[in-house]
Amino acid sequence: MRTLSENQIKVLKLYRKGKKPSEICELTNLSSSSVHEAIKRGSANIYRAIAIIETAMKNDILAEPEIRKLKQLLYS
């Protein structure tokens, strides 16, 4: 699984706060295609991570330390 790139993090933060792609372009000095690609790939990476965790939970293959870590992430 890939991590999120710096651009994906920067763009997704702004996008999730309600900024339009055109506004994100102006704020980050990224091209329109770069902003759209960051939204697309960053979101896909997040959904992939969720799907992996969901599969691990459904198949009862998470160890207790992993469950604790996930709880810490969710409730911090």
List the chain domain ranges.
Answer: 6-75
Total-model pTM: 0.84
Most distant CA atoms of the chain, gap in Å: 46
Determine phi and psi for 61, rounding to 5 degrees: -115, 15
Residue 36 CA to residue 23 CA, distance in Å, equals 12
Closest CA to 42 of 8, 14, 19, 16: 8
pLDDT tens digit string along 54-71?
999 999 999 999 999 999
Confidence of residue 46 (pLDDT cuts 50, 70, 90): very high
Q: Does residue 9 surpass a pLDDT of 70?
A: yes
